[in-house]
A and B are shown apart, each in its own frame.
Chain A
Amino acid sequence: MLADLEPRVAEQRITLLETLDRVLNKGVFIAGDLTISVADVDLIFVGLRLLLSSVETARALRLTREASSDRCQWKADN
């Protein structure tokens, strides 16, 4: 599955999803009328499931982010 995906693409996709999960749902919450919280905790899991379950879907979702060093290490036996 993921092994079939170009590693850099998989890595970019994962990095973005992991970042998304963190900056939306975690981090300091500052209450105030102008604090906009876009919490959708399911998003990250939907995204990762797509990535894990379907190479085609993951390819369709290919993103353009620049490679971000060696942040992601995917360890799976497939």
Chain B
Amino acid sequence: MQGHYIYGIVSFPPELSGEIPGLGGNPARLLPRGDVAAVVSRSTLTSWPLDDAHLTLHEAVVEEVMKSRPILPARFNTLLRTEEAVIALLDERARDFRLALERVRGRVEMGLRVLWEPPGESEVPADQEIEGGGPGTEYLSRRLKEEWHRAKLLQAGERLIQELDAPLRSLAIESRLQRFPTNRFLIAGAYLVDRHRVDAFREGVMTARERFPRLRFLLTGPWPPYHFVNGAPDGTVHAFAA
């Protein structure tokens, strides 16, 4: 049984120029409705295997389309049964799609991950110590120390994040920062940047790197604006907040 695989949502027109091969070798095409369109290809209605080749192909279609117009990339394995279902989707969410497309027009996403060495166990001030004997007290004392240490870590990390993020934010339109996604990660961030400011943003990261030689930086991009397809910011995840 055949359906439609969705790569993303774009402004319409223009039509696609040239053939873009999609999953299963089926060409990508546009299903327009008013001034928005879905980028689709014919597809069997079973999920595509999540491997290197398929993932890369999904991304390649999105990037090719993105060369000539803004796109809201869809998640991997988004399949709809009929053309009518795709059109209904465009109708239902036309306003959201239009707004989001305007927001990402002429912009790209830059990915930034920053690793840190969380400071080691620090001395707990005397007034935070619990004096005295039994196993219960010992347990409480240990828990208190752990809590104190965790709070200190978050504080120190947050200070670093603020200092890092401020200059980068000024080079970007918007950002999505995930704080402390794991113990070693300070931030996993995505910045929405004007195409013509990509180099300036890279320089901004270089400057941050010189300023914080003990942090490690991974800058990737430009990417399609995966993190900026709707208005709601992502939730903040704290690895330490167990």
Contacts and interface: CB of A to CB of B under 8 A. Distances in A.
Given A27-B226, A77-B216, A64 B52 contact: yes
B94 interface: no
B76 A32 contact: no
Contacts of B224: 22
Interface of A is mostly: mixed
Interface in A1-52: 14-16, 18-20, 22-30, 32, 34-38, 45, 48-49, 52
A45 B185 contact: yes
B77 A63 contact: no
Given A34-B79, A38-B77, A48-B113, A14 B218 contact: yes
B80 interface: yes
Nearest to B221: A71
Interface in B74-91: 74-81, 85, 89
A72 B72 contact: no
Nearest to B206: A75
Most buried by B among A19, A64, A71, A72: A19
Given A22-B223, A65-B52, A76 B217 contact: yes
Contacts of B78: 28, 30, 32, 35-36
Contacts of B130: none
Nearest to B5: A34
Contact of A23 (B58, B80, B205): B58
B111 interface: yes
A71 B220 contact: yes
B229 A28 contact: yes
A52 B183 CA distance: 13
B59 interface: yes
A74 to B, nearest CB: 6
B218 A75 contact: yes
A47 to B, nearest CB: 12
B42 interface: no
Contacts of B115: 52, 76
B45 interface: yes
Contacts of B217: 74-76
B213 A77 contact: yes
B75 A24 contact: yes
B170 interface: no
A72 B75 contact: no
A45 to B, nearest CB: 5
A75 B76 contact: no
Nearest to A48: B113
Contact of A73 (B9, B220, B226): B220
Contact of A35 (B52, B79, B229): B79
Counting from the closest, the 8 A-B pairs by CB-CB distance are A26-B226, A22-B226, A76-B216, A23-B76, A36-B77, A75-B217, A36-B47, A34-B79
